[in-house]
Amino acid sequence: MIRIAGRGDIPRIVAIRASVRENRLSDPSRVTTADISWFAEHGPIHVWQSANGVQGFAAGDPRDGSIWALFVDPAFEGQGIGQALINAACDSLRQAGHRVATLRTGVNTRAERFYVKNGWTAQGLDARGEMTFTKLI
């Protein structure tokens, strides 16, 4: 089930972010606990929770209409969690008044294939070499 994250979820969110196989965070200063706290208060951050605890999270940035995060614990990949979470994040962006969502991800990755499969349109590479995608929401 999807619910809105609270401050008590931050340690698990950090753990999931650190556990992923793709889009690993090589510079921890790029995503801090303060960043996660801001999104928990303003984003919101959506988490997928089952009897086993939180297995994934996603957040859209209401300030600019971008997807800030979508990560699933590798042990729970392939179960539709990412799809449900990205939909929830897009819904929150729509509720914030956005009609187009944007995101960035690595080129030639499973994430890139996931976004293409789900209707996101590649717009080109950004300054860091990541692919920018957009989608009407």
Asked if 34 contacts 117 with a C-beta cutoff of 8 angstroms, the reply is no
pLDDT of residue 28: 62
Run of H or E including 58: strand 53-61
Instruction: Work out the burial of residue 32: count CB atoms within 10 Å of its CB; fewer than 13 is exposed, 13-18 middle, 19 or more buried.
Output: exposed
pTM listed for this prediction: 0.92
Q: Report the pLDDT value the prediction gives residue 113, as an integer from 0 to 100.
A: 96
pLDDT of 84-102, one tens digit each?
999 999 999 999 999 999 9
Predicted pLDDT at 22: 73
Query: In the block, which residue shows the tokens 């996931």?
Result: 114
Pick the CATH number of 2-136 from 3.40.630.30, 3.90.180.10, 2.40.30.60, 3.60.110.10: 3.40.630.30
What's the one-letter identity of residue 104? Answer: R
List the domain boundaries for the chain.
Answer: 2-136
Buried b (16+ CB within 10 A) or exposed e, 75-100: ebeeeebbebbbebbbebbbeeebee
pLDDT at 31: 73
The pLDDT of residue 32 is: 78
Quote the pLDDT of residue 18: 87
Check residue 20 and give its pLDDT. 81
What pLDDT does residue 29 have? 63
DSSP per residue over 8-52, as a string? GGHHHHHHHHHH-SSS--S-GGGS-HHHHHHHHHHSPEEEEEETT
Tell me the per-residue pLDDT of 34-88, one tens digit each, with 9 for 90 and over: 888 999 988 899 999 999 899 999 999 999 999 999 999 999 999 999 999 999 9
What is the structure's pLDDT at 78?
Answer: 93
Q: What is the pLDDT of residues 112-124, one digit of tens each?
A: 999 999 999 999 9
What distance in Å separates the CA atoms of residue 87 and residue 94, rounded to the nearest whole number? 10
